[in-house]
Amino acid sequence: MSEFKTDLKTYEFNHTMIRVKDPKVSLEFYQHILGMKLIYSEDYETDKFTHYFLAFVNAQDLATLDTKSKDERRSYTFRRPGVLELTHNWGTENDADFSYANGNKEPGRGFGHISIHVDNVDEACKRLESFGDKIQWIKRLGQCNMKDVAIIADPDGYWIGVCDY
């Protein structure tokens, strides 16, 4: 019997955070190329950064969310799984030499990738190919050790696995 009054069966993974250099470029990528929706954002004036929270949301939930208050949107964001948080430290977008380590090369090897599940990986990859040079391919479908996975990079170089299993 646990001495703590919390039930581990209620725990779930909520979100992961990555830092982005230019939120306009990153939001364009995640919303228009990957199809995620911005469900909540918050500016922190004193510390000069903004959090953007994105998720895959069905049309009905998105329409309902659009009618909610800021507090209700915040609560929804932190009570659902599968959220990607983009953090922008103000001013990085104006520094041509600035970049973040994506975790897949030295220095800074550690973080590997995020992954999205799609309904049809072949068709999803064809759609991604239609964006031309807006997509940075790390591994095209069939080039990975896992033949049914493709890997692309976002504008900051973070890897994104694409699969349908």
Binding-site entries: 85, 113
- Which residues, at least 6 apart from 159, have a Cβ–Cβ distance to it below 8 Å? 102, 104, 112, 113, 114, 138, 151, 152, 153
Q: What's the CA gap between 113 and 97, in Å, rounded?
A: 23
Q: Give the annotated binding-site residues for Zn(2+).
A: 85, 113
- Read off the DSSP letter of residue 71: H
CA dihedral sign of residues 100, 26, 129, 15 = positive
Look up residue 16 and give its two tokens: 């992961």
CA dihedral sign of residues 142, 145, 151, 157 = negative
Q: Which amino acid is at 164?
A: D
